[in-house]
Amino acid sequence: MRRGAILVLSGPSGAGKSTIINAAADEIGEYYFSISTTTRAPRMGEKDGVDYFFVTKEVFEEDIKAGNFLEYAEVHGNYYGTSLKPVREALDQDKLVIFDIDIQGHRLVRAKMNDITTSAFITPPTLKELETRLRARCTDDEAVILRRIENAKEEIRALGEYDFTIINDTVDAAAEKFVIVAKAARLKQSTEDEVEFIRSWLNT
């Protein structure tokens, strides 16, 4: 059996993850971009089922009890999590499942699905550049921007836990690296299947 592979992307908000994935989309084959579930209220312009699955705290806690999450965490009083069901379906369809999750989420996915997981940490070239990008978005007030920068410094300290680091200096160069990471993730998955094939064959 051939199953899909998991590719975890982490990195500061403003690192350019979505831009890189879009720039590389034509070359990485069929993929499913995992949509997180959250209890926080939608922000201006956010759509249910596109940016997040928006649910109530009660529904989220029911799902926790039922074991429906691959990973979840509580951040600033809101829950964020990844539902298992759509991930399983995408894996069964041999898709590359891409997660945009934080370093805690990465650790939880590794713990549960290490054999099919490849990970990359995407970072802006400098904290100064990150600050510029966050201000250019004009979506956050000053306090939020400063907190995001502090978070970024914290996160970047954890990047040794990732298989690859991609410094988003220019989008083209970063997208090219991302294509290699995505192909390596795919190759790793076919590897696991082939290992099973060879093992079973050797034992006959």
Could you list the residues that contact a second copy (CB under 8 A)? 123, 126-127, 153, 156-157, 159-160, 163-165, 167, 177, 180-181, 183-184, 187-188, 191, 194-195, 198-199, 201-202
SS3 state at 16: coil
Q: Listing from the earlier edge strand, what are the strands of the sheet with 37-38?
A: 53-54, 37-38, 78-83, 69-75
Residue 154 burial by Cβ neighbours in a 10 Å radius (0-12, 13-18, 19+): exposed
Q: What is the distance between the alpha carbons of residues 40 and 34, in angstroms, rounded to a whole number?
A: 18
SS3 state at 124: coil
CB of 111 to a second copy, least distance (A): 19
Q: In the complex with a second copy, which residue's Cβ is closer, 51 or 192?
A: 192
Q: In the complex with a second copy, which residue's Cβ is closer, 78 or 190?
A: 190
CB of 145 to a second copy, least distance (A): 18
The pair of three-digit structure tokens given for residue 50, joined into one six-digit string: 């596109």
Q: In the complex with a second copy, which residue's Cβ is closer, 112 or 157?
A: 157
CB of 96 to a second copy, least distance (A): 14
Q: In the complex with a second copy, which residue's Cβ is closer, 139 or 197?
A: 197
